[in-house]
């Protein structure tokens, strides 16, 4: 299950834009725009206004915003009702809420 109990390590707030590579420890929350590659052994939270263009590789994720590119989640992925995924989705376990949209290649391996 995607967790919100680990410490919040970073926040990319509304109206901000980061481009490049990001590796983080602890949870990270993105409510702005991120372009590039993102990696973590912990949890990514993407708010409803958040947008990621690029490659994401994390242990757990809670997605309410828009991801364009590759989203790889090694443990548990939760797609909220406002989530939009365009590209390649690869997850060990998937919790898909009604209203979430996924366009592209989907692979769910099972826990």
Q: pLDDT of 37-82, one tens digit each?
A: 999 999 999 999 999 999 999 999 999 999 999 999 999 999 999 9
Mean per-residue pLDDT over the chain, rounded: 92
Q: Which three-class secondary structure string do you get for the chain? A: CCCCCCCEEEEECCCCEEEEEEEECCEEEECCEEEEEEEECCEEEECCCCEEEEEEEEEEEEECCEEEEEEEEEEEEEECCCCEEEEEEEEEEEEECCCCEEEEEEEECCC
pTM score, whole prediction: 0.91
Q: Taking the domains of the chain in order of start, what are their residue ranges? A: 8-108
């Amino acid at each position: 299950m995607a967790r919100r109990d680990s410490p919040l390590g970073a926040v990319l707030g509304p109206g901000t834009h980061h481009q490049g590579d990001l590796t983080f420890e602890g949870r990270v929350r993105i409510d702005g725009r991120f372009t590039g590659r993102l990696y973590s052994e912990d949890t990514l939270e993407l708010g409803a206004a958040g947008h990621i263009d690029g490659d994401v590789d994390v242990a757990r994720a809670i997605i309410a915003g828009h991801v364009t590119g590759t989203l790889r989640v090694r443990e548990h992925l939760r797609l909220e009702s406002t989530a939009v995924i365009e590209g390649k989705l690869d997850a060990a376990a998937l919790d898909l809420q009604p209203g979430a949209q996924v366009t592209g290649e989907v692979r769910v391996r099972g826990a």
